[in-house]
Amino acid sequence: MIALTAAEIAAATGGVLRGLEPVSLVSGAVVTDSRDVEPGGLFVALPGEHVDGHDFAAAAVERGAAAVLASREVAAADGTPLPTVLVADVERALGDLAREVLVRLRVAATEPGGSDLRVVGITGSVGKTTTKDLLAQLCGSVGPTIAPVRSFNNEIGLPLTVLRADETTRFLVLEMGASGIGHLTYLTDIAPPDVSVVLVVGQAHLGGFGGIEAVAKAKAEIVEGLLPDGVAVLNADDPRVSAMAVLAPGDVVTFGNASGAAVRARDVRLDATGRASFVVEAGGRSADVHLRLVGEHHVHNALAAAAAALAIGLDLDQVADGLSAADALSPHRMHVVDRPDGITVVDDSYNANPDSMRAALKALAVLAGRERRSVAVLGEMLELGDQTREAHDAIGRLVVRLNIGLTVVVGDGARAIRDGANHEGSWGDEVVLADDLDTAEKYLADELRPGDVVLVKSSYGAGLWRLGDRLVEGVAS
């Protein structure tokens, strides 16, 4: 974080100082885990369902924290008050602090020799993290860039990402997630984007939203939250997204396969490893792209990243070269590992909804081809509300249509995948149901053989990422 006095932090958060001089300087990282504290940093004592950060305030100060952001008095073991900025709501104060820091950085960026800071916000029901990773690598090739680790995209993760920026930051790439109306309004109030990217309105979190139109309304908040001259980057292939153009305060840039899209891909082709090559077209120019990511669906994510990069000043050659050099950065996101025993594991277990599940299964079919056996290990897709059974049933039917060689359905919540496969025409041992992760692991240990291509896919809360880790490590070989 940029250096701030305790008084400045208190003013930004509406807090009062306890055991802390107003001129005391806080200049280190802002963290929520006491084990991550750096000398001179700020420890944010977030209350949690199972763990309360206030209980670790003393340990944070012992490790060098200059101050604690807390909602109640905290003290050392001997009763000495800890240096604290006392606030009414720690989570809200964290957002307020990030907002103030970004305002200061934007002012500094406009001064002579400033960084010309640009903020990009990315949302969508699927593809946010991959697009964020691609864009961060594009931006990082031309200037200092800050982007979220993993999927820090909520009311805690976004402020923490903003607070990592400093006066040298040229690009701040932010992933913005929402599970209800008003969530993106809150995030864009903290960090109003110069460029907002909307990928797709899909079936993720339907249980929380209550319907697809509510999802669209929530995603549109990132466009409404743009700076007055901000640019909206919209998916031309999704009518609900393209309709958001009327909400944009400034220019609109579209991407996709639609004939009128400003950024398009042509001549898309997949190699034997499932990686796509294509020609990107924008502004009357074209350039070749050869993605390192597995799955044709990443072409769409690459176009979104390209459109955003062009909107913040990169040229097409920089974009094409950057996309061709970009790697998958976040764990459990179509992470492909060739094991020594000849088994290939595709770990895409960080999250799942019907759209991403379909894309991953299609990628599995391409990667396995006709020579190798495709194995899908599938868990529950969470937060689908009254669409849960229908959505899982449809995935089971798709498994059969794609001729997946073996499907292991894990957990009772995903049972409808097996039912859908059976209704579509599966029989025998092509689709099996495992009650839990341990059962699935034992089954795979006996069943997998050299040459198999294994996809692991579920929502994070279903826990299949643990099985993904074990398979990658060869534990279940």
Binding residues for ATP: 124-130
Cα gap 138→418, rounded to integer Å:
41
**pLDDT score recorded for residue 329:** 84
User: Comparing C-alpha atoms, which of 225, 191, 222, 195 is closest to residue 94?
Assistant: 191
**pLDDT score recorded for residue 204:** 57
**pLDDT score recorded for residue 474:** 54
**pLDDT score recorded for residue 332:** 83
Residue 206 has pLDDT above 70, yes or no: no
Residue 111 half-sphere exposure toward CB, CA atoms < 13 A: 7
- Calculate mean pLDDT across residues 259-269: 96
Residue 6 has pLDDT above 70, yes or no: yes
pLDDT bin (cut points 50, 70, 90) of residue 425 is confident
**pLDDT score recorded for residue 150:** 75
Structure-block tokens of residue 396 = 């089971």
Structure-block tokens of residue 106 = 């934007």
Mean pLDDT of the residues in the chain:
94
- Calculate mean pLDDT across residues 241-250: 97
**pLDDT score recorded for residue 476:** 46
- Calculate mean pLDDT across residues 179-201: 96
- Percent of the chain residues past pLDDT 90, beyond the cut: 86
Which strand (E) or helix (H) includes residue 235?
strand 231-235
Write out pLDDT tens, residues 393-407.
999 999 999 999 999
**pLDDT score recorded for residue 149:** 85
Residue 475 has pLDDT above 60, yes or no: no
Q: What is the pTM of this model?
A: 0.87
Vertex 103 angle, CA 94 and 95, to 5°: 15
Binding residues: 124-130
Residue 380 has pLDDT above 60, yes or no: yes
Write out pLDDT tens, residues 144-176.
999 998 778 999 999 999 999 999 999 999 999
Burial 403-421 (b: 16+ CB within 10 A, else e): ebbbbbbbbebbbbbbbbb
User: Comparing C-alpha atoms, which of 97, 126, 105 is closest to residue 301?
Assistant: 126
**pLDDT score recorded for residue 477:** 39
Write out pLDDT tens, residues 314-351.
999 999 999 999 998 877 888 899 999 999 999 999 88
Residue 37 has pLDDT above 80, yes or no: yes
